[in-house]
Each structure stands twice: as C-alpha cells, then as structure tokens.
Structure 1
Amino acid sequence: MTAAQADLKTPRTELPETPRIERPTIADGAALWRLAKDSGTLDVNSSYSYLLWCRDFAATSAVARGADGEPVGFVTGYVQPDRPRTLLVWQVAVDAGHRGRGLAARLLDGLTARVAAELGLTAVETTITPGNTASERLFTSYAARHGATVEREVLFDTGQFPDGPHDPEVLYRIGPLSF
C-alpha cells in the first residue's frame, strides 16, 4: 500500500468544492484503476480487480467525487475474515490535481468512521514500503488523530515476492481506535 509522495509535499489549499466521499460502484472501477496507475507509486493491479473490488468490497472502500461526479481519490480495504474488527487498507490514491489538501486523510477518516459504525472497527492495518513518506505520514497522523498506537513489523520480505525485486512491505497495526 502506498500513497503518492506529492500528496504531502504540496501546500494545503482549500478545494473550490469539497469532494463528496461515498461508497464506490462498479462504474467507478475503471477510474480507480486509472488513479492507481497515474499515482506513479502504487502497485497497479489488473483493471478487472478494480471492478471486482468496487463490487465485492464497496462496503469497506471509499471514493471521493469531484464536482463533476468523477472519482478524484479512493481508499480500498477489506475486513479480515479471522479478525472482523480489523480493516486492512489496501490502497490509497488521490488525483494529482487534488493532492496536498488533506483528501487522503478525509477518505481514510470517513471510511473508518463508516466501517466502525457498521461493524465495530477497533483496528486498522496497512502495509507500506520503506521510504514511502507520504503513506507513513498519512497513517501515523491517522493514529494520532484517533489516539491509537502504531506497531510496525515486516510482513513480506523482499525475497518472498515471486515477480522480481520488490521492496519489503512493512505492516502497520493501528489501534485500539476510538471514534
């Protein structure tokens, strides 16, 4: 999981119109794929997987819509089957024109508040590659806003990836959460 590096480097300014945060629909799948691809930092999955994600995991994902109704950001996640009060955040992406305005944090806060209300969420997990400062800041500031601690450990080491060199994925466990 990564967020675009530029999202935290751009000075914060107000959006002309604050994007609406909603559950994604299947019709959003292609736009989520493009946002992930255009981020330049995310591991891009197949377009098919984003369509499935918007169908099967819409309840644990969120999309930010611009004034024209088109997605300008998203966060995807799922509830872990063996830990139903833990949300694993898979990907976070924000369109380049909307970065630096706190949209990634709004998406994460909005999604976790909704999942907490519906499912009793008590923890968030994500993985971040070393050196991804934007994601590190996003999730450590999320933990601080919610009075939670952050534990880190390597989940998948470099040698475990079958498709060539890949940075390790560090698991961030955030909790317990208070809403």
Structure 2
Amino acid sequence: MTAAPADLLIDQPAVTDGAALWRLAKESKTLDLNSSYSYLLWCRDFAGTSAVARGEGGEPVGFVTGYVRPERPRTLLVWQVAVDSAHRGLGIAAALLDGLTARLTAEHGVTDVETTITPGNTASERLFASFAARHGARLEREVLFPAELFPEGAHDPEVLYRIGPLTDVTPHSAH
C-alpha cells in the first residue's frame, strides 16, 4: 500500500465539501471543470463511492469521485482525482484511490476499476498504472470517446483504462 502523511484523514465527502472539491478541480488545470452545483450534488448523491482527504484543519486537500457502474456492479468508475498543489507528491492521490477501492471492495464486492484519461496527462497515467501494479491487476487501454464526439471541438479523446481483477485490496495506512 502507499504511504501518506500521518495527519491525513480519508473519509466520505459531505455536501459542505462541494465548494472545496470544485476549487480543487478548477485549480488542477487538467480536469474538465463541472459546475459548482454538480460537485454539491456529487457530494450528496455519490458520497458513498467517493473519498476526500482532509488536512490538519479538516479542509479537503484532495478527492476522488466515482460511482459503481449500474451495468457492471463490481466496477468502480473513477470520475475525477485532484490534490491541492501544496500537497502533491506526498502519495495522497494513491492513498485516496487505495482507500476508496478497499472500502468499495468490502461494501460492494468491487473487483475492477475504470477511468478515462486524456493523452498526455502523465500524472494520471502514472497514478493508475502504479495502482494496477500495486493490486496485481491487468491494465487495458482503449479509446472510449474519440475527440470528434465532443461538441466543443477542442477536446482530446478520452482513453478508457480498465483495471482488474484486483487481487490485493487491503485498507491503506492513512487514518
């Protein structure tokens, strides 16, 4: 498992975290920024399949949003991962991902993880490749949404990363 700062608390997001998650996504400069309203809804309706990392004062310093796919109830789709720039490089994203999948494996029997990454997002590519390696899982990639499907025209393709089956999912060391 990954090491994360000892003072890190990983738990489920609350509606009151929605604005902070929106700010983290905006400041990432790599994520597609959704409306602030959508982050409030996400923290209400998908809190059980998402995770937030809290710093010393309880303020979110990172998050993972996801959901269990209705047609594939053992698959977690990771929607977004973001960590505050002052807290990057400390293993927070990996700890969030490990903690969330451990929880969802125990609660829902999750065996697989999917996410999409745009080409050139090396931080996300490394995060999910190392996640697959840590959990003894196969990693497959294929274009899910080609660029021409996006109506705004300037969007890169979204490459689907399919990871599974997970063979070593134990709770992370962060508390």
12, 19, 22: which is aligned to 2:8? Answer: 19
Distance 1:147 1:14, change over 3 A: closer
How far 1:163 moved relative to its partner?
1.5
Distance 1:14 1:91, change over 3 A: closer
Mapped to 1, the partners of 2:161 and 2:4 lie a distance apart of: 30
How far 1:18 moved relative to its partner?
2.7
- SS at the partner of 1:86? strand
**What amino acid is aligned across from residue 164 of structure 1 in structure 2?**
G
Distance 1:168 1:58, change over 3 A: same
Alignment of 1:72-87 (within 5 A): 72-87=61-76
**What amino acid is aligned across from residue 37 of structure 2 in structure 1?**
Y
Count matched residues. 166
Residue in structure 2 matched with residue 57 of structure 1 by the alignment: 46
How far 1:14 moved relative to its partner?
7.2
1:67 aligns with 2:56: yes
**Runs (5+) with no aligned partner, structure 2:** 170-175
**Runs (5+) with no aligned partner, structure 1:** 1-12
**Contact 2:143/2:159 (<8 A) preserved:** yes
How far 1:23 moved relative to its partner?
0.2
TM-score by length of 2: 0.93
% same residue: 75
Alignment of 1:25-64 (within 5 A): 25-64=14-53
**What amino acid is aligned across from residue 72 of structure 1 in structure 2?**
V
1:96 aligns with 2:85: yes
